[in-house]
Structure 1
Amino acid sequence: MTEPDLTRLKDVPPPRDAAKRAALAAAMAAFDDAKKSGSETQGNDAPVRPRDALSRTEGKKPMRLLHTNRALAASVAALMIGAPTAFLVYKHNLAQPAGTFGKVSGNVTGGGLDVVDALPPTPARPSVAEAVDENRGKVAALPQSHFMLPAPAKPATIARQEAKKAERVANFAMSASAPPLAKPKDARAVANGVMMQAPAEHGMAEMLPPPVDQEFRDKFDSKDINPVKQVAQEPVSTFSIDVDTASYAFARRAISSGRLPPKDSVRVEEFINYFPYNYPQPESADIPFKPTITVAPSPWNAHNRLVHVAVQGYALQSAQRPRANLVFLVDVSGSMASEDKLPLVKNALRMLVDELKPEDTVALVTYASGSGVALEPTKISDKGKIIAAIDALGAGGSTAGAQGIQDAYRLAEENFDKGAVNRVILSTDGDFNVGVTDQSELKGVIERKRDKGIFLSILGVGQGNYNDALMQALAQNGNGAAAYVDNLNEARKVLVEEASSTLFPIARDVKIQVEWNPARVSEYRLIGYETRALKREDFNNDKVDAGDVGSGHRVTAIYEITPVGEKKLVDDLRYGKRAAETRIAPESGPADGELGFVKLRYKLPKEDESKLISSPIGDAQAVEKLSATTDDVRFSIAVAAFGQLLKGAPYIGKYSYDDVIALAKGAKGEDPFGYRAELVNLARLARTARP
């Protein structure tokens, strides 16, 4: 058995002591039975060899096979549930000459498991109970790292399941009526859980289930890619802005591990908006947005053009920002124990505490099998108490996330501060599996609290059980952003560099609507924002919720358009209005020279009535060559192409990762934190990553 084979067993949790005893007893009894049977012809110390069973007379063959397979079944069972020495002894004795038994020495895992004199080399065998106790004690004496078996994700539930399997395996191995087992192909089959191929009625078909590939347990919403639309049929495009960045961080983690992210996990707008851009700044918080529009050739389609809409939000000065009244809601269930989960969350929260002002307030609520208040609302001036509460967090139990949300909101309501930003920050690795788990019910709770002025932001961690679909829905309905933190650098970016953007909104319910001029544009498509689409009538309806923008946030939207007269992807309707009939006549005025018209609607944080900003899209904003645009525009277009490649979008032709790399490298500009260089490297890795 190779090192990788045994490493795969690291996620198998130890079962109950009773199950261990049953499996070890089965193993040792099987050894004794096999040895006694072998003594009829080979002596008491003769090892059991499968080849010996096949070389005897026809009458002895079934009995030999039975004893051999019973020993093999029990040994593998003992190995898989936490008794590696039993397997080593059996494996060693198969290979040793007659008359030897006991001494085993060998490096089994990368941790260096060396088992010497696991069983004494004496002819007289101890009783089964004595052998079990002896081996269990020696196994327990070895360092835990040697076995590579970390604490289980959900010990109570999994232990019960594994105990039942162990007892069933032990009963099967000791049963005189058990049928012969199929011969194992190799050691790798043992680790993959497919070695045993016995009839299902004996329970062996499910004895060693194959390990679940963790990457496929993450949950994402599936949305169709935005299609190409005809301006003559549908001239208006409306969507809610999105400042989330979770999709890019999740993709980075996947690509860095050598695999492409699931296509459903890729939201191109979150890739584009992940990066800081130096767009022109608005002058005051009274008009918190300044749109900048650029029209440039499409790098992947010579017939088309890209309309780049950049919206920069006003950055609050330190004296302008309100107080923060925060409730940290932290998942401390058993699955959060690994280093990239709860320890990372604790580091991230400590970073955030360092960014807050002495008059800001923090509370801490935890949830696992249940929920509880770990820290009552405390001023940042008492930072030592807050840090001590964060440091004391530990993982264990199931995931009663909904109960935790309710407790966090209750605490936020009891300590509501009208002059502050009241926000719950949920840090979790995955799904809620206890209590209220219905997504629509959770969204309803969060929407009602949002209307009372308490917002929700998401700080996601980990992989293998991450419910991105739920986290996105909760953040969108809670007027907050959803970030995914895969390392400390990302935690620093989200909670230190962008702390004001994360915590302090400058506008609510921000929507964008673009109307295209059919005299100049025949087709268009919006790149990304599939999960943020709105109806045309939603734009002027202040009751319709949309995205919030924090201090200093910037939002980028990119449209690909087909100018009139260029090759189109969608044919005109034979019996519909012809394109010529829909065009505006030259005498209609200046609108004829416009490609389209952009409108942005928003509410100030303390107001319920929206305001409007609008700007035409014209030839004055157009450039003949992509190279004539700014580094920010070119780099964001490179990111858009990268996201579309990962998403599998069918509209970028032969544009490749190499093209993305070339465009991004030429547009890196100032890159103080290395984010743009990282994108170039990810594109290189994506070329050879497995699907």
Structure 2
Amino acid sequence: MRLPPSQARALPGHAIGTVAMPRPEPLPLPEPTGRDRFPDAPPSGFQAVAQAPVSTFSIDVDTASYAFVRASLNRNALPPPKAVRVEEMINYFPYAYPAPTSPEEPFRITTSVFPSPWAEGRKLVQVGIKGYAVAPESRPAANLVFLVDTSGSMAGPNRLPLVKQALSLLLTKLDARDKVAIVSYAGEAGTVLPPTPASERQKILAAIEGLAARGGTAGGEGLRQAYALAEQGFEAKAVNRVVLATDGDFNLGITSRDELKGFVARKRATGIFLSVLGFGMGNHNDALMQALAQEGNGAAAYIDTLNEARKVLVEEATSTLVPIAKDVKIQVEFNPATIAEYRLIGYETRALRRDDFTNDKVDAGEVGSGQTVTALYEVVPVGGARTMPALRYGAPPAAPVAGSSDYAHVAIRYKRPDAETSRLIEAAIDPSQEAKTLAEAPQEARFAAAVAAFGEILRGGAYTGAFRYPDVVRLATGARGDDPFGYRAEFVGLVRAAETAAALAPAPR
């Protein structure tokens, strides 16, 4: 009906003089299922030291895989094997390695050797790295752009509402030194908040709270606008970073993975890095998120709960936001006099060629303030039971170093965040670092081995033999140690949950 002119009111979405009806909020889309996408990288196998003595890989401090595995198990479903990246499972946990004492040499290497828990006669070689911790009060200023996916696929309660909570938590770790801008994207992208001092907390919170999910996913245009805002607020001595929060379902505009990676890589060269926070399950494009984070010199995390948001953005805020080194690479050379075969557990998506190690043009991982990184190798000692027969026409074994009883040599190359020339740190792994029994191995090494075994079993258990979930529980429980936030206790609970989880998630109703 028509209202008299004296009673007419202008309301959103309605012409003056019509009956005011509230614009309905879009209904949440049904929770999708079965459309998650992961990198296709089969587990690495054993290598013969005589033919390939050198292992080279980019460092990885991402934790997305562990949180996704947890989200699956909390739904009483085993995760897809491709979703399990063992190095991200291991590196989800902090480890009590000795710390460097000076930022002049920002890493300290810890190594150990001990019997494999799952294969008699084999050994595990642990390489642990602890990064220098920057004091919160002395950290550089932050120029942050929150790039938020507000497409229809983000309407679920574990998506955009959780994004808002997560970004609000991150805001608590910022101060007057810092600036925040917000870009949202759905069918099109737009600036929600121009660069604003973090001290204007209520203004930023209001912008976050106003975000609503509707429309398609023009992620490429969102990235372009977010980087433009980061350039607008760029400070040479600050941390300049785009923080992307999405389920990764880019379906409008630029959707080519290679195009997006190239764009992010070019922006990385200007000093603007990219971190990725993944949300949702059922259509989560983990493969794209991992690729963008790697190209952007940033970490990828998966936020499945408010507690996970608190871990990543509050408890670990300094390491999440403040890099101490970029393009960090590890190269391990095994001694053919003592080691016959080896395999690197995990890091399949981070493998590098041998000559990439000394090539400063090759991109690699970023490490944040105070972070720890762990890598495990499973090795067959000389004289042990080989996993592969010797080649009939193979080259003779490499000549051992005269008088050397070392197991391996570790080298780390890194660049300071503002440098383009790498530096080198080296260490030897020798019998003095070996524990004769598993019980004598360092506590942190035993816990890392338990997590590695769990990841390997979830991927099919090709190398863990008869070692099963109860064995993982026993090993992890005996190495839990100091656990102030309960992460390790939660891990034990997840292993128990995996014993009874269904092979597939039930279809949504």
Letter in 2 for 1:599: A
Find the counterpart in structure 1 of residue 162 from structure 2.
Answer: 344
Q: How does 1:486-525 map to 2 (within 5 A)?
A: 486-525=304-343
Equivalent residue for 1:634? 446
Structure 2 residues without counterparts, runs of 5 or longer: 1-23, 504-509
- Aligned match of 1:296: 114
d(CA) in 2 for partners of 1:467, 1:538: 28
Report if the CA contact (8 A) 1:228-1:524 is conserved. Answer: yes
C-alpha separation in 1, matches of 2:261 and 2:40: 19
Q: How does 1:554-593 map to 2 (within 5 A)?
A: 554-579=372-397, 582-584=398-400, 588-589=402-403, 592-593=404-405
1:413 counterpart = 2:236: no
Is 2:439 the counterpart of 1:621? no
Which one scores higher on RCO, CA 8 angstroms, separation ≥ 6? 2
Counterpart of 2:495 in structure 1 is 683
User: Could you tell me the TM-score, scaled by structure 1's length?
Assistant: 0.68
Counterpart among 596, 608, 616 of residue 408 in structure 2: 596
Q: Which residue of structure 1 lines up, in the alignment, with residue 247 of structure 2?
A: 429
The corresponding residue for 1:472 is 290
Indicate conservation of the 8 Å contact 1:260/1:689, yes or no: yes
The structure 2 residue matched to 1:539, chosen from 333, 357, 364, is: 357
Q: Could you report, residue by residue, the CA deviation over 1:593-652 in whole angstroms, capped at 9, with x for unpaired residues?
A: 111100000001111110000001100110101111222111111000000001114111
TM-score by length of 2: 0.92
2:26, 2:214 within 8 Å by CA — same for their partners in 1?
no
Q: 2:470 aligns with which of 652, 658, 661?
A: 658
Q: Secondary structure at the match of 2:200?
A: helix
Once the two structures are TM-superposed, the CA of residue 336 in structure 1 deviates from its matched residue by 1.2
User: Using the alignment, how far apart are the partners of 2:313 and 2:138 within structure 1?
Assistant: 19
Runs of 4+ in 1 over 6 A off after TM superposition: none
> Displacement, 1:271?
0.1
Structure 1 Cα separation of the partners of residues 443 and 426 of structure 2: 25
Quote the Cα distance in structure 2 between the aligned partners of 1:516 and 1:274: 27
Q: Deviations over 1:464-516 (max 9, x none)?
A: 11100000000000000000000000000000011011111000100000001
| Shift of residue 417, structure 1, vs aligned partner | 1.0
* Alignment partners' CA distance in 1, 2:85 and 2:33: 18
Task: State the structure with more CA Rg.
Answer: 1
Q: Which amino acid aligns with 2:137?
A: A
Structure 2 residue aligned with 1:334? 152
Provide the rounded CA distance (Å) in 1 between the counterparts of 2:359 and 2:219: 33
User: What is the SS of the residue equivalent to 2:33?
Assistant: helix
Residue 46 of structure 2: aligned partner? 228
Checking the alignment, whether the CA contact within 8 Å between 2:51 and 2:395 is kept in structure 1 is no
Amino acid at match of 1:547: G
1:648 aligns to what SS in structure 2?
coil
The structure with the largest helix share of the pair is 1
| 2:70 counterpart SS class | helix
Q: Give 1:583 deviation, angstroms.
A: 4.4
Q: What aligned pairs does 1:30-429 form with structure 2 within 5 A after superposition?
A: 151-153=27-29, 214-429=32-247
Write out aligned runs for 1:432-443 (5 A): 432-443=250-261
* Offset of residue 331 of structure 1: 0.6
C-alpha separation between the residues in 1 aligned to 2:313 and 2:191? Answer: 23
Give a deviation string over 1:367-401, Cα, whole Å, max 9, x none: 01001101010001111111111111111111111
Give the CA deviation at 1:318. 2.0
Q: CA deviation at 1:150?
A: 8.1
Tell me if the contact between 1:517 and 1:596 (Cα under 8 Å) persists in the aligned partners.
yes
1:352 and 1:499 in contact (8 A); partners too: yes
Q: 2:483 is matched with which residue?
A: 671
Q: For the Cα contact (< 8 Å) 2:106–2:132, is it kept in 1?
A: yes
- The answer as to whether partners of 2:325 and 2:368 remain within 8 angstroms in 1 is yes
Deviations 1:539-582 (A, max 9, x none): 00000000000001110000000000011001111222444xx3
Residue type of the alignment partner of 2:463: Y
Q: CA–CA distance in 1 between the matches of 2:80 and 2:39?
A: 11
Residue pair 1:225, 1:649 contacting (<8 A) in 2 also: no
Secondary structure of residue in 2 paired with 1:638: helix
What amino acid is the match of 2:432?
A
Deviations 1:402-445 (A, max 9, x none): 11000001111122111211000000123100000001000111
User: 2:36 is matched by which residue type in structure 1?
Assistant: D
Partner Cα distance (2:443, 2:74) in 1: 26
2:5 is aligned to none
Code of the aligned partner of 2:117: P
Unaligned runs of 5+ in 1: 1-143, 154-210
Letter in 1 for 2:458: L
Does the CA contact (< 8 Å) of 2:444 and 2:479 recur in 1?
A: yes
Read off the aligned partner of 2:102 and give its amino acid letter.
S
Q: Which has the higher strand share?
A: 2
Amino acid at match of 1:612: L
- Aligned-partner residue type, residue 134 of structure 2: L
Q: After superposition, what is the alpha-carbon deviation per residue over 1:265-307, rounded to whole angstroms, capped at 9, x for unaligned?
A: 1100000000011110001111000000000000001110000
* Alpha carbons 1:436, 1:442 under 8 Å: kept: yes
| Kept after mapping to 2: 8 A contact 1:305/1:560 | yes
What one-letter code is carried by the residue in structure 2 that aligns with 1:584?
Answer: P
* Inter-partner Cα distance in structure 2 for 1:649 and 1:642: 9
